[in-house]
């Protein structure tokens, strides 16, 4: 107990109340039915209290003391309370963040604690079943159903519908990603409700309280999903850098190399859970909850947009600067770079850096070798997109048929296709081909002229002028891609 906090106090939530007295806290479950939980039966409330103590002792064994019976004037038991050791309110993580106090070491300690917690958490077939792509989609849809009555009342209807559309689009092509997460044993019986209000930064380490106890299935989550809830909450508190620091430290301690898009998706999902809770609070008579719901909805939409999985096709004639642009975009976006020049030589059993010059459509550049190269390019792109990776595809893309094939791959995997055609005058392209070093390409000016004659129109691509510096060109490409987000 902090010296500055009152001896007695009460704090309420939509589903419970906590009574503080001295160095103890007593938590009551309200007899309410909120749809996703039903505490109207006294027996259910007792079972939930006991379950809460058992579950929370996993992370804070010295805080959860047991379950106390509440008796009436006649001595009969009428309800139950969770008995807890009272935490010092001035060490609450949310308060520390709001006051701008340094919490970097506490965030790192918290990431380590959560990684260790998840490493030892229960796993199994039933838990895995709640971490599949379809199970995650079902949770989204359950929240959609509960929030839909608030469209146009609390939430902007267009924004709410975009949230639904973007969440479904991400999930539609990501079954391989969720299957891999299960195979890597990332789905655990976790905490389920990590928020900064329920974390206390003490001298001997953090205490994490109040895990989700009323529905086991909502606690069966990917460890990244669990931690994303707190990262999202830190962003809500105006400290997105701390949220990113938490996720980075958790990845370090847990050895989790999840794609950035999955981080974004879970941040969005957790923000939308808070949208739902705020809407329910508004329905219970809290007018201030409407503004909170809208703020969380903005966070949800921002994360879904940022986490969009994309196939970025970068094409152009030899010497147009396409490989420079593709590499720069991949670095800037944290995307995977796929290069036709590299793949072509891998398929031929050659070192990608070995030069194998040949005449136009000869050697490993015959139509048959080219078709094989683009087919493998599309196959790898499909696999990566399914795993939630944004890909940048560096090739000439002079054939309309190959462009149609990669567009189909992007559509099937729920990834958005963006096409950039690099453009430069012929004399500049020729000079680049003659003077460049370190390129994987075997093309020379004569080959470039032949390719230009066979180059099919590409009206759907954005024409990117590459006559400026590489930095300027890449900046322009990023600006174009951002406009379509």
Question: What is the secondary structure of 254-269 as a DSSP string?
Answer: HT----HHHHHHHHHH
For the chain, helix, strand, coil in percent to 5 are: 55, 15, 30
Query: Alpha-carbon torsion 380, 385, 388, 390, what sign?
Result: positive
Q: What is the pLDDT of residue 362?
A: 77
Tell me the fold of 310-483: Rossmann fold (3.40.50)
| Averaged pLDDT of the chain | 93
Q: Stretch 237-257: mean pLDDT, rounded?
A: 96
Task: Tell me, yes or no, if the pTM score tops 0.75.
Answer: yes
pLDDT in tens, 101-159: 999 999 999 999 999 999 999 999 999 999 999 999 999 999 999 999 999 999 999 99
- Is the pLDDT score of 34 beyond 90? no
| CATH 3.30.200 domain span(s) along the chain | 8-85
Q: Stretch 217-228: mean pLDDT, rounded?
A: 96
Q: Is 347 helix (H, G, I), strand (E, B) or coil?
A: helix
pLDDT: which is higher, 383 or 37: 383
SS (H, E, C) 444-459: CHHHHHHHHHHCCCCC
Q: What is the pLDDT of residue 440?
A: 67
| CATH 3.40.50.300 domain span(s) along the chain | 310-483
Q: Which helix (H) or strand (E) holds 465?
A: strand 462-465
Q: How far is the C-alpha of 21 from the C-alpha of 1, rounded, in Å?
A: 10
What are the DSSP E strand ranges found in 152-204?
Answer: 187-189, 199-202
Q: For the chain, first and last CA: distance in Å?
A: 48
Q: Which residues pair with 422 in a beta bridge?
A: 464
Tell me the fold of 8-85: Phosphorylase Kinase; domain 1 (3.30.200)
Burial, 152: exposed, middle or buried (Cβ in 10 Å; 0-12, 13-18, 19+)?
A: exposed
* Tokens matching residue 250: 């958790």
Q: Does domain 89-306 have CATH number 3.90.1200.10?
A: yes
Q: Which residues contact 250 (CB under 8 A, 6 or more apart)?
A: 111, 114, 115, 223, 224, 227, 256
- Is the pLDDT score of 453 beyond 70? yes
Nearest CA-CA partner of 316 in 408, 436, 424? 424
Residue for token pair 């093309």: 443
Q: Is 370 helix (H, G, I), strand (E, B) or coil?
A: helix
Q: How far is the C-alpha of 324 from the C-alpha of 321, rounded, in Å?
A: 5
DSSP 413: T
* Tokens matching residue 406: 């990669």
Whether the Cβ atoms of residue 228 and residue 267 lie closer than 8 Å to each other: yes
């Amino acid at each position: 107990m902090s010296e500055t906090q009152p001896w007695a106090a009460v704090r309420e939530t939509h589903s419970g109340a906590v009574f503080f007295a001295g160095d103890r806290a007593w938590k009551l479950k309200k007899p309410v039915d909120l749809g996703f939980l039903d505490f109207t039966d006294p027996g259910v409330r007792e079972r939930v209290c006991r379950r809460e103590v058992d579950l929370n002792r996993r992370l804070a064994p010295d805080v959860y003391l047991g379950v106390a019976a509440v008796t009436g004037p006649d001595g009969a038991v009428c309800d139950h309370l969770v008995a807890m050791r009272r935490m010092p309110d001035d060490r609450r993580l949310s308060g520390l963040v709001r006051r701008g106090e340094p919490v970097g070491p506490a965030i790192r300690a918290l990431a380590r604690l959560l990684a260790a917690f998840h490493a030892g958490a229960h796993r199994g077939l039933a838990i895995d079943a709640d971490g599949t792509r379809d199970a995650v989609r079902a949770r989204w849809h359950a929240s959609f159903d509960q929030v839909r009555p608030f469209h146009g009342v609390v939430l902007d209807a267009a924004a709410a519908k975009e949230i639904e559309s973007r969440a479904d689009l991400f999930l539609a092509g990501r079954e391989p990603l969720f299957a891999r997460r299960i195979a890597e044993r990332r789905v655990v019986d976790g905490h389920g409700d990590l928020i900064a209000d329920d974390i206390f930064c003490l001298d001997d380490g953090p205490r994490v309280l109040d895990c989700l106890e009323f529905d086991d299935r909502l606690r069966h989550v990917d460890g990244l999903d669990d931690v994303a809830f707190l990262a999202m909450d830190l962003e809500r508190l105006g400290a997105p850098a701390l949220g990113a620091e938490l996720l980075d430290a958790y990845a370090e301690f847990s050895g989790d190399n999840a794609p950035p898009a999955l981080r974004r998706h879970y941040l969005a999902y957790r923000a939308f859970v808070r949208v739902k809770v705020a809407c329910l609070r508004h329905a219970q008579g809290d007018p201030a909850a409407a503004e909170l719901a809208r703020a969380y909805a903005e966070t949800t939409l921002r994360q879904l947009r940022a986490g969009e999985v994309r196939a970025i096709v970068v094409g152009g004639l030899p010497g147009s600067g396409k490989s420079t642009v593709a590499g720069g975009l991949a670095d800037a976006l944290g995307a995977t770079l796929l290069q036709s020049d590299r793949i072509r030589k891998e398929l031929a059993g050659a070192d990608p850096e070995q030069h194998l010059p040949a005449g136009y459509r000869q050697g490993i550049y015959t139509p048959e070798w080219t078709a094989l190269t683009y087919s493998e390019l599309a196959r790898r792109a499909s696999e990566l997109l399914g795993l939630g990776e944004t890909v940048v595809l560096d090739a000439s893309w002079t054939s309309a048929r190959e462009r149609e094939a990669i567009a189909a791959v992007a559509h099937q995997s729920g990834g958005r296709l963006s096409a950039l055609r690099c453009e430069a005058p012929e004399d500049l392209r020729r000079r680049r081909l003659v003077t460049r070093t370190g390129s994987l390409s075997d093309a020379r000016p004569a080959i470039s002229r032949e390719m230009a004659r066979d180059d099919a129109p590409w009206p759907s691509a954005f024409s990117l002028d590459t006559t400026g510096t590489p930095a300027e060109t890449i900046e322009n490409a990023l600006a174009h891609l951002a406009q379509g987000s």
